[in-house]
Structure 1
Amino acid sequence: MRGPPGIVEAMQTRQRWKTRAGVYLAVAFVAAGALGAVQPATGIPTEVVQLTQFGPALGVAVAALLWPSRTRGLLAAGAPDRTSSPWRPLLATPFLVILLSAVPYALLTGTAHATDPRTLHHPFLLVALAQLIGACGEEIGWRCFLQPLLRTRLGPLAASSATGLVWGLWHVQVLAQSPAYAAGFLLATVTMSITLGLALERLGGLHRLLLAGGFHALVNLGMLLFMNEETGAPSPMLLFGLSCALTAVPWIRRSHRRPPVTIPATAG
């Protein structure tokens, strides 16, 4: 027996939303694993770029093939506020994150964990450009597709938090580290996602992608030059997570002072 048309339509819309999210996530996870497996054969150094970062972009590509108009709508989602631009405070936030992470870590260990860019195995300009490209490969999936998709069902804080949690779990190798390390990393991804989600709430398209990618790349470069969290030591990752949480607070407070953006459920 079929239900009333309104209920049936709502159920179908909910199912479509879940299907799109599920397909995107399945491709993003599987593609990242496959790209990580083939990277050694390509000869591309992980210090320059990690091919796993393009897993989310492939997820969006598959979604675009299956649902072209809906995917275009999500990638363009936003209600641009021409009275103010968040790019200055947003791109300043990674520097604050690294400062709040690196200084306490240096004081804690008695050593400044700073790397001279000239000592890297590859030119720093090449590393920085590749990091930006790789970060955009991730952000077109997380902040430009999944987060707007979740925003059709959830508020900005909830959608950003959920995106950040999935983003963190996507880094499955982190879960093999100690519980404290994994907790610090997940705290970082959730709170960075909150910062990005709230800052970019009124932006869409290429503007959103470049700002999210720039933020992401600056964080990665800062970690490369001033932290040694890749050793698996929990203390630098915990400090990093806490600094990300602290820098998200002003963005949360700022969002409460602004009228919310309504994203139509039909976009999902």
Structure 2
Amino acid sequence: MPEQQRERAQAQAQAQADGQGQGRPRAPWAAEAGVFLAVALVAAGACGALQPATGIPPEVVQLTQLGPAVAVAAVALLWPGRIRHRLAGTLPARERVGAAAERRAALLLTPVLITALCVGGGLLTSGSLPVTAPRAFTHPVPLVVAAQFLGACAEEIGWRCHLQPLLRTRFGPVTASALVGVVWGLWHVPVFAQEPAFAAGFLLATTAMSVVLGLALEGVRSNRLLLAGSFHTLINLGMLYVTDETAAATAPMLILGAASLAAALAWIATARRAPHATPDKIIVTTAPGAR
């Protein structure tokens, strides 16, 4: 306990030094969030416009996924001290093994559960499952998996490694995660060119999956990017190869939303029964009291 208190005090002192050094006041959290979201949207649009010229097929990787990573870089240029603390725990580091390890395993199993629920829902509603054979794409599976993972990490360094910790300093884990999920869904602008039921299913899926990620990463102090990127990749691969959510069909997207909601409710129920976790460095160094 003394060690945790010491770490907390050091983190708070560092946060104050970063924000108040050289007579400069700390920027409001809303400004940081606003800059991040604006740059993420513009950068994603620019990258998407460039994709046809690159010849990279969307099933391999969508260049729009680079938008959040570019936005994190923009925030880092404006508020380097804040971004350093915000991204604490993003990369691998030495960490005690405990309940966080169980959440990590459960997190990586959740996309498998969601995909399985989508398979069951598809079979019940249509009587068939449109599985895509790997040879249907001209690129080898290892390349697709690697590209999907890199694209997912480019998104997750923004959503779960930056925006989630930022909102977590103002809201509880479920509320912060749900807000990130809504923003994450709205950021996929082309989705809303589809019919309203499709867009609603997609927004439900992103919000529910964000709640799963937020609860799973609560108190996890290392490998956050690897974990979030792996979850995201498994979901994308399931949508690409196993189910039909990428075909812009309404029924499969509604099933994905329902399956994701079921997974999120299970995580919420588990979190309510779990003991309160010790606040991690991300929350301590960016909490209002540290300003």
When the two structures are superposed, what TM-score results if normalisation uses the length of structure 2?
A: 0.83
Q: How many residues align?
A: 255
Measured in 2, the distance between the counterparts of 1:25 and 1:260 equals: 29
Measured in 1, the distance between the counterparts of 2:141 and 2:234 equals: 13
Answer yes or no: is the 8 Å Cα contact 1:144–1:204 preserved in 2.
Answer: no
1:67 corresponding residue in structure 2: 79
Judge which range, 252-261 or 194-203, deviates more: 252-261
The one-letter amino acid of 2:239's match is M
Answer yes or no: is the 8 Å Cα contact 1:102–1:113 preserved in 2.
Answer: no
Measured in 2, the distance between the counterparts of 1:121 and 1:258 equals: 49
1:30-81 CA-to-partner distances (Å, cap 9, x unmatched) read: 0000000011011111111000001000000011111111101011069x66
1:168 corresponding residue in structure 2: 185
Measured in 2, the distance between the counterparts of 1:176 and 1:260 equals: 41
1:131 corresponding residue in structure 2: 148
Equivalent of 1:158 in 153, 168, 175: 175
User: 1:162, CA displacement in angstroms?
Assistant: 0.3
Answer yes or no: is the 8 Å Cα contact 1:81–1:203 preserved in 2.
Answer: no
User: 1:231, CA displacement in angstroms?
Assistant: 2.9
1:231–1:83 CA distance, 2 compared to 1 (3 A): closer
Instruction: Note the 1:1-268 alignment, pairs <5 A.
Output: 16-76=28-88, 82-84=97-99, 85=101, 86-205=103-222, 207-256=223-272, 257-262=274-279, 263-264=283-284, 265-266=287-288
The share of aligned pairs that are identical, in percent, is 54
Measured in 2, the distance between the counterparts of 1:77 and 1:17 equals: 20
1:185–1:81 CA distance, 2 compared to 1 (3 A): farther
1:63-121 CA-to-partner distances (Å, cap 9, x unmatched) read: 1111111101011069x663131221111110110110122212321222111213322
Measured in 1, the distance between the counterparts of 2:237 and 2:193 equals: 23
The one-letter amino acid of 2:251's match is S
The one-letter amino acid of 1:46's match is P
Judge which range, 208-217 or 229-238, deviates more: 229-238
Q: SS in structure 2 opposite 1:198?
A: helix
User: 1:226, CA displacement in angstroms?
Assistant: 1.7
Cα-Cα RMSD: 1.8
Q: Structure 2 unaligned runs (5+)?
A: 1-19
Judge which range, 237-246 or 196-205, deviates more: 196-205
Answer yes or no: is the 8 Å Cα contact 1:192–1:248 preserved in 2.
Answer: yes
Judge which range, 88-97 or 252-261, deviates more: 252-261
The one-letter amino acid of 1:98's match is T
When the two structures are superposed, what TM-score results if normalisation uses the length of structure 1?
A: 0.90
User: 1:230, CA displacement in angstroms?
Assistant: 2.9
Q: Structure 1 unaligned runs (5+)?
A: 1-8
Q: SS in structure 1 opposite 2:60?
A: coil
